[in-house]
Amino acid sequence: GAVVSQHPSRVICKSGTSVKIECRSLDFQATTMFWYRQFPKKSLMLMATSNEGSKATYEQGVEKDKFLINHASLTLSTLTVTSAHPEDSSFYICSARGTATYEQYFGPGTRLTVT
Amino acid sequence: KQEVTQIPAALSVPEGENLVLNCSFTDSAIYNLQWFRQDPGKGLTSLLLIQSSQREQTSGRLNASLDKSSGRSTLYIAASQPGDSATYLCAVYLVGTDKLIFGTGTRLQVFP
């Protein structure tokens, strides 16, 4: 149980375009979802926390107009990178948490490359 | 502000050695501590989760301990194998928030 998927696993886009990444909880209802970013050989940095039906809470230094997060249902959250630039290239990982535990379950990650 | 540090940053050992990876955190107000494994270019695999009331957890060749008062956790890997080569991350769940704060990671290489 507690499986989280992400789609796509890899995406390459041109500078200036927008990219949407989906995070789904497959076998549980995720009241809270989290988005992390990971630079090469670095640890995970929390970008934002989203609760179903509410606006996301962004960490300090994360541009909310650039990284749009939508958590419209209990099994789906999306991260849209708007007007992507090469410096947005990174590994994006989502996680999901149900109601019964603090434990977060992680997706497999999405590798974004902006050319 | 909670800071999580892992030592060493990198480790290279021959197969068969017993290893200890260290994790320290600055604020002892945590719910749980979790150890993850990450293979290159991949997501996270949860290894062990220790609740704040526990002192250790074991799974196969892995044993994780937690000392909240001193802000430390260790991951012990017995009889290491080349397949154990990966980056190991510890993370703490903060009291009063939903946040999970990750450590700096230890890159482990086990050579035959």
Instruction: Return the pLDDT at B1.
Output: 82
Instruction: Return the pLDDT at A54.
Output: 85
Instruction: Return the pLDDT at B88.
Output: 97
The closest alpha carbon to B100, from A29, A95, A26, belongs to: A95
Instruction: Return the pLDDT at A76.
Output: 94
pLDDT tens digits along B74-109: 999 999 999 999 999 999 998 888 789 999 999 999
* pLDDT cut 90: percent of chain A above it: 75
Q: Taking all residues of chain B, what is their mean pLDDT, rounded to a whole number?
A: 93
| Residue B94 contacts A, CB cutoff 8 Å | no
Tokens representing B38 are: 């990450």
In this structure, are residues A11 and A22 in contact, taking their beta carbons and an 8 Å threshold?
A: no
Contact A44 B99 (CB under 8 A): no
Model confidence at B64, pLDDT cuts 50, 70, 90, reads very high
The closest alpha carbon to B35, from B89, B71, B73, belongs to: B89
Q: Given the structure tokens 């937690």, which residue do they identify?
A: B66
Instruction: Return the pLDDT at A1.
Output: 66
Contact A106 B43 (CB under 8 A): yes
- CB count within 10 Å of CB B44 equals 25
For chain A, list residues with pLDDT below 50: none
pLDDT for residue B11 is more than 70 = yes
Considering CB atoms only, which of B89, B93, B102 is closest to A102? B93
Q: Which residue has the higher pLDDT, B4 or B2?
A: B4
Contact B98 A106 (CB under 8 A): no
DSSP 3-state assignment of B77?
A: strand
Query: What gap in Å lies between CA B38 and CA B106, rounded to an integer?
Result: 10
Q: Which of B32, B42, B44, B89 to mutate to test the interface with A (most CBs of A within 10 A)?
A: B44
**How far from A75 is each of A21, A96, B111, CA to CA, in Å?**
14, 9, 41
Instruction: Return the pLDDT at B98.
Output: 77
Contact B49 A103 (CB under 8 A): yes
β-bridge mates for residue A49, sequence order: A34, A57
